[in-house]
Structure formats: C-alpha cells, structure tokens
Structure 1
Amino acid sequence: MKVVLYGASGNAGQRIYEELKARGHEVTAVVRNPEKLAAGVKSKSDDLSSADRIAEIIAGADAVISAYAPPQNDTDQLIGVTERQIEAVSKAGNPRLIVVGGAGSLEVAPGVTLLESGHLPAPWVPIATSHAKALALLEASDINWTYFSPAAFFEPGERTGKYRLGSRSLIANDKGESRISMEDYAIALVDELEKPSYEKARFTIGY
C-alpha cells in the first residue's frame, strides 16, 4: 500500500515506519525536518498547520497514519491538527486515517474512563484530555478513521508479537499493569492496516 506516515521521527513513528517497510509498503515519512531522517528515506516536510498542504501530501495514498505528538506545554494543538487532518482526508479522496491515540479515554469500569477515574497521574491529564477531544472529532466525522489506543504504559521495548486486543476497555495483566511496547504496538497497527477490523472505530492493545 501507499502509506503516508506523519510523525515518523518520533518514538512510536519510527517503529511504525520500520514495520511498514519490513512488510513492503511504500511509505512517505512526513516530519518538520526531513534532514533528521536517515539517508534514503522518502520524505516530505510539513508542520500540520494547513489542511490544504496535508491534502496535497496525502493525495493518492491508500492510508494516512498519524503518530503526531503535540508539545507538552500545549497539548490542545492536537485538536486543531485532528480537525485539519479530517478536512484534508475529505479533500484528498478519503484515504483511511489511522491515529496513534491515547489511553485516557479507555474504560476502567463500566462507563468510567481512565481519565474520569481519578487514577491518572496529574502530569498526564492534559494530553489525555486533548486525546479524548480528538477522538470525539473523529467519531463525529464522515471519514474512514481508526483510533488505536495503546496501553497505559507505552514505551520502547521488545518486539514479541504476543499481546491482546480490545475495543473500549483498558487492557491490564493479572497484576493490574497496563503495558505495551512500541514495537508490538506497531505490529498490531500494521496488521489493522492490512486487514481492517476497526474501521470507523477505536481499539486498544496490551499484554
């Protein structure tokens, strides 16, 4: 497939890029500073400030993957970026949009999200709140979107290929730990790209 990957130089983005390439997909990495990417990487420069520019970049793609991460001191930039991505996807002929999401909007009890539970550490509340707003924008849109929430702890680690998937509830192990490596997350994301099960829906992953 022809895939446009935003945020390809980030922690999650790098691993998604590697997984896509390993499976033979044609990937265009989109970052602010392409000179920071390895030699030979097909890339374009964009700061996600213009829906028209995004539409121009993604024209002809089968899918767009957004691993965009907003600045920690202004997480609500994610909301404007999501609005522009939705507009751009519509303008570009509706390629599929897969978003690297957050865990805060996952349920930890019936009808109670992690964000609402009071158990989320205070430093994580702003980004979790912004992600929840971005998810609401996708749910209200007419595009073909997928929102992929990681586990609560989402860090570089091992590529094991062993994990569990779910839909709306936080996945935790028998010790109550909710974790996933970025490497295993990338496997599941590319699996979903190749064999869709969650179009116009959100899903999640954990050990």
Structure 2
Amino acid sequence: MHITVFGATGQVGKRIVQQALNKGYFVTAFGRNVESLIDQDNLNEKLTAQKGYLFDEKDVAKAIDKADVIISVLGGASDGSDKTRSLGIKQIITQMQKKGKKRIIALGGMGVLNAEDNTLLLHADDYPEEYLAVGLEHLKAFELLLESNLDWTFFCPADIHDKDETGIFITSINYAPDPNHFRINAGDLAMAMLKAATNQEYVQQRVGISNY
C-alpha cells in the first residue's frame, strides 16, 4: 500500500508517517519542511519526502500520483485567518478527482459532529467562542468532502495532545463518543486514521474519537 500524507510534519502527521513505515507501507510525506522527517529514526527506502506547496496543483498532483490512500492532517492558525484547512482540502480533492483517486482520510474538529438534535455541535449557543473560527474552517473542509465523489472519512477530535499512542481510545460515527474525555493522544489519532485507511472503515462518515 502507498499512502500520501499531507501535513506530514505536524504532531499527528509525523506519527502517521512513522506508523505506516512500521507496517511496511510506502509513504509520500508532503510539506514545505519535510526534510525534518529524514533522520536515523525513520530513514527508510519506502519513505519519499516531497517538498512542495499545497496550493501548487502540480506539486499536489505529483504527491498523490502513486497513492492508494491520501491522508490529510493539515493544520493552520486557530483564529480562522488561515484557510489552509479548507482551501488545502479543496486542492487535494481537485487533484484526486483528476487522477481518479477515491480514498481520503481527513482531519477536522469535534464541532462538525452532530448534536443530539441533529444540528452540529459548533452551532450550539454554548459552543466555545474561541473554537468557532477554526470550527468553521473544519466545516468548510467537511462540506467540500461531502460534495465530492470521494470515499472520504472525516475524523473530528477535541483536544489533540502531543503524545504517543496507547491503543486505549473510543470512536463513534457522526456523534461525539460516550464516554468523551475531550482529548486524544496524537499517536492514538494517527493509529485510528491509519486503521481506517487500511481497513476501509468509516467510508463517507464523520468519526468522533476520545481517549478513555
């Protein structure tokens, strides 16, 4: 299997890269500063670190050329001023459609999950205002996936902690998990996203996730 990871140098992305290599997969790690991934810990003939610009269609097209699965864990500013999450997904979707690629696993936020009345959590009156701007960016990314013809999965965690995997977490479809501790280790999130990619889980579904 060949996996392309966008956002490969972030706290989740770098763990997806390492976990995928540990499983023997081919990995294309895409980013502007991917040189940082090439060290003695993950020096591997199956790893291609592609330096590129997310808004350059040729760079993105090249990155996904051999991919069986695309994983997007794009980050950005938390105040909504940075449109990397939404416009980045738009570029990836466009190039996937041009190349006939179908499977993408993408990272969003908990606000895009359903509330009990089937509205979205981020539309609730008590949704924290400091998370609203980035939540709306996640919503735009989700809407672009929803409008596409792709086999997408959209992971929607709360707080992501920069810690390795424990394997002790719970997932749920379209709603927040129960129990929900509003946190997930980056390693566990990477593990769940990679498992969904390899096992064809949660196709065209949102996924809530939390550590126990």
What TM-score results when the alignment is normalised by the length of structure 1? 0.90
CA 1:109–1:12: 2 relative to 1, 3 Å: same
User: By how many angstroms is 1:158 displaced?
Assistant: 4.6
> 30-39 vs 130-139, which deviates more?
30-39
> 2:48 is matched with which residue?
42
Would you say 1:33 and 2:33 are equivalent positions?
Answer: yes
Q: SS of the counterpart of 1:61?
A: coil
* CA offset digits 1:54-113 (Å, max 9, x no partner): 112211211111111123452333222111111110112214111112111112322232
Q: In the alignment, what sits opposite 1:51?
A: 57
Equivalent position amino acid for 1:112 in 2 = T
What is the aligned residue count? Answer: 204
Kindly indicate whether residue 170 of structure 2 is the aligned counterpart of residue 164 of structure 1: yes
Residues 1:190 and 2:194 aligned together? yes
Q: What is aligned with 2:23?
A: 23
Deviates further, 96-105 or 154-163: 154-163
CA 1:53–1:38 in 2, change beyond 3 Å: closer, same or farther?
closer
- Kept after mapping to 1: 8 A contact 2:60/2:95: yes
* Cα gap change, 1:31 to 1:158, in 2 (>3 Å): closer
Q: How far did residue 5 of structure 1 move? A: 0.7
Mark the CA change 1:125 to 1:184 in structure 2 (over 3 Å): closer, same or farther: same
- 2:12 aligned with 1:6: no
TM-score (normalizing by structure 2): 0.88
The secondary structure found in structure 1 opposite 2:115 is strand
Amino acid at match of 2:52: D
After superposition, what is the alpha-carbon deviation per residue over 1:176-199, rounded to whole angstroms, capped at 9, x for unaligned? 632211111111111111111222
Tell me, yes or no, if the aligned pair for 1:12 and 1:182 is still in contact at 8 Å: yes
Change (3 A) 1:24 1:119: farther
User: In structure 2, what is the Cα distance between the partners aligned to 1:182 and 1:35?
Assistant: 21
Q: Partner of 2:151 in structure 1?
A: 144
Contact kept in structure 2, 1:106 and 1:168, CA below 8 Å = yes
Distance 1:78 1:53 in 2: 17
Question: 1:64 is matched by which residue type in structure 2?
Answer: I
Q: What is the SS of the residue equivalent to 1:42? A: strand
CA distance in 1, matches of 2:154, 2:18: 20
Q: What percent of counterpart residues are identical? A: 27
C-alpha distance in structure 2 between counterparts of 1:119 and 1:191, whole Å = 33
Structure-1 residue corresponding to 2:74: 68
Gaps of 5+ in 2: none
* RMSD over equivalenced CA pairs, Å: 1.8
Q: What's the CA shift for 1:35?
A: 2.7
Query: Which whole-Å CA distance do the structure 2 matches of 1:138 and 1:197 have between them?
Result: 16
